[in-house]
Amino acid sequence: MRFINIILFLPLVLFGSNLKELINLSQKNEQYLIKQIQIEQAKLTSKEAFRNYLPSLSLNSAYVANNKDRFIIDPQESLFAKVSLNFLLFDGGAREANLRALESKEKLSLLDKEQNKNYLALNAITLYFNTLSLEKILLANQQKIAFLKSTFERLQKFYDAGLSPKDELE
């Protein structure tokens, strides 16, 4: 029994000497880190969607030189330039709805991370206090064993001296 308790609670004793350290260690696990990455992903997604709705300006140019045999109507050299400006005039409120949905998703991922953080802290606290209570139970059982041994030895001495009957010893 003692060996099993040592195996079960050795990681808690080695890595978490106090409650605050145990909570900090529990919040560095993979689930919590995944939630943090999901928050960053939601922020990047909302920024990307916002950038998609911004006006865009593009400038394209090209230069063509034709040194081969050509017809009279074909120019020997050509220079092309193209400028385009793209912007959204009206989309029926889809842009605002999409941005609000992405903002809500970002808030939801933040709340999910906080809930996960609180859950991990609660589990760490529960394990810590369960460990403390089990240590106290073990100490009480050891004291009970010591008391019963001393009582047995005292009754054995009384029996050996002939001062107590056999049924009291049992």
Give dist(CA 114, CA 121) in Å, integer: 10
pLDDT at 5: 43
Give dist(CA 9, CA 112) in Å, integer: 30
DSSP at 42: H
The fraction of the chain above a pLDDT of 90, given in percent, is 24
Helix (H) or strand (E) holding 149: helix 94-161
When comparing pLDDT for 118 and 5, which is higher?
Answer: 118
pLDDT at 8: 41
What is this structure's pTM?
0.58
DSSP at 55: -
Among 155, 147, 152, residue whose Cα is nearest residue 163: 155
Average pLDDT in the chain: 81
Give dist(CA 113, CA 120) in Å, integer: 10
Q: Could you report the per-residue pLDDT of 88-127, keeping only the tens digit for each?
A: 888 888 888 988 999 999 999 999 989 988 888 888 888 8
pLDDT at 28: 77
pLDDT at 107: 92
pLDDT at 35: 86
Averaged pLDDT for residues 48-55: 86
Give dist(CA 165, CA 163) in Å, integer: 7
